[in-house]
Amino acid sequence: MGEIIVGIDLGTTNSEVAVVREGRVEMIPVSAEGPILPSVVGIGPAGELLVGAEAKNQAILYPERTVRSIKRRMGESGKVSLGGTDYSPQEISAMILARLKQVAESHLGQPVGKAVITVPAFFSDAQRQATREAGEIAGLEVVRILNEPTAAALAYEKRVEYARKVIVYDLGGGTFDVSVANIENGVVEILSSHGNNHLGGDDFDRRIQQRLESRVREGWGVDLSENRVALARLQRASEEVKRLLSDRPFGTVSEEFLFEKDGLPVHLTLEISREEYEEMISDYIEETISCVRVALSNAGVAASEIDEILLVGGSTRTPLVSRRLEEEFGRQPRFEVHPDLCVAMGAAIQAARIAGVESGQVLVDVTPYTFGTSALAELEDGEISPFAFVPLIRKNTPIPVTKSEVFFTVVDNQDAAEVFIYQGENSDVRQNIEIGNFLLDGLANRPRGNEIVLLFSLDADGILQISAREKATGLERTLTIDRQVERFGQEELDRSRERVAALLGDETEFAASPDDRETVAADLRARAEALLPDLSGEDREDLSARIADLLAALEGGTEEEFDEASEALEDLLFYLES
């Protein structure tokens, strides 16, 4: 078997890993439950590292030894406490990636050293760099950072051959992205992207949890803000009732012995209707619709020109999402590819292309931000402002891209020029984000107007490199916008690898896969459940029945019964996938 590059969706709530083998996207099971790994990291009672369901389960009793939603902290310089030790967001994410790497190696039977990792389209440069560093700490060469909506479009593109303009609406656990794409003749062209890196299903959970906490205050006069165990239980209950309300009109929270008052146990029971829930989160959904409108405007595409709306991310199961999009576009969104898996599937498709596997697809991505510098400018009243923003690479420009512009010194014999780099859309640099600066010194003694050529180069991963060159002498300085590297040099990366490796302990034990039956069952179940949304009528009923038979045989059947059930499901999948 040749070199394998896996595709990884490093999500706020859940993460997945996939690979293309024999021309088919294969979701790699992380347990007998399937391919979805909760993005939760914990330290167990004996000091062992827990990643995934085990960490999520212990969060109720030991919230101080558990970290969730670390993706929202990526790109920050602060540390996260885990079991009394401080870790960087990159290190926590690396623990999740290391787990995915190990289960992939166990499943594939060979080392995995390279990966395509997805990020929200609206992730900043610092967040992308942090993601790349997390991969390196986990022992992965990150060959591509891929935008999540773009990955989802790749997964959907495999299923339809006609040309169309689509909206990719990606609402996950912690982030929201929307992209406008043109898909034609195997080319996936992203026309624009917009979004919010701090909006997602976690916020929906928080609204429900606030309602529960309010009920406790109103009913018992108790503030739970300092009761970490009770808050962790309410967080879990909020997530569970949110999932229920995706399919049912009512959901009930029932938490026995939640806390004590006056020495007596207190039980919390509260029914929440879907109508109440949707009212709680309606402002968040409206914010996503506003982002959709911005993306359409930036792409120069009218809502009436959109042929399809593709739903991505587990939070799109909330019925209000589909209803609002249908009201906005006059058509029902598509849910054909499993919303939790399609990003990892698209990442695997792109990984296969990088590995040299012909897929017939061409990917054209765009930058979600405008990058530029500052310059002196004359205002309407004749005054000179030093705060003018000069864009070099504009938002929604296809990447990779290189742009250059000439600037001039402003005084005679100016011996240095300080170059400031900004990200944003405002004509006043003070309203944008400064992402870097450097000094071009040692300039020649020349009259003002000495030409300085500034070059911006944005690669396919969204990483920006800048150079400033004095045209007359060739004097040049370069800068890679990599604020994380200042904190994560090679020595720091090596130390982080050692810290994470020490927590992983015996890699064989940590990567121990389920027994052969569980592995086979998990793989078959993942394939089947990914196919279910495409089916209807008898095919859907038959596939559901075969899945149930397999799980029953796994739970209590003989080896022969399990073999029969797995072969029956495999045969049906072969028929349905062909």
Q: Give the residue numbers marked as catalytic.
A: 9, 71, 148, 170
Nearest to residue 52, comparing CAs of 79, 7, 13?
A: 13
What gap in Å lies between CA 135 and CA 502, rounded to an integer? 17
Using DSSP, state whether 85 is helix, strand or coil: strand
Q: Are 108 and 79 spatial neighbours (Cβ–Cβ below 8 Å)?
A: no
- Tell me the C-alpha to C-alpha distance, in Å, between residue 62 and each of 216, 220, 265: 22, 25, 20
What gap in Å lies between CA 330 and CA 524, rounded to an integer? 37
Nearest to residue 42, comparing CAs of 2, 4, 81?
A: 81
Helix (H) or strand (E) holding 416: strand 416-423
Nearest to residue 193, comparing CAs of 56, 98, 299?
A: 299
Which residue type sits at 197? Answer: N
User: For the residues of 186-246, what is the DSSP string, one character each?
Assistant: TEEEEEEEEEETT-SHHHHHHHHHHHHHHHHHHHH----TT-HHHHHHHHHHHHHHHHHHH
Q: Is 574 exposed, middle or buried (0-12, 13-18, 19+ CB in 10 A)?
A: exposed
Q: In sequence order, what are the residues at sequence separation of 6 or more whose Cβ sits closer than 8 angstroms to the Cβ of residue 261?
A: 220, 222
- Tell me the C-alpha to C-alpha distance, in Å, between residue 525 and each of 321, 520, 564, 573: 27, 8, 15, 10
Cα-Cα end-to-end distance for the chain: 24
Q: Are 198 and 73 spatial neighbours (Cβ–Cβ below 8 Å)?
A: no
* Length of the chain, in residues: 578
**Tokens describing residue 169:** 């609406």
**Tokens describing residue 464:** 């920006």
What gap in Å lies between CA 353 and CA 334, rounded to an integer? 26
CB burial readout 50-71, b (16+ within 10 A) else e: bbbeebbebbeebbebbbbbbb
What gap in Å lies between CA 464 and CA 481, rounded to an integer? 6
Q: Are 144 and 463 spatial neighbours (Cβ–Cβ below 8 Å)?
A: no
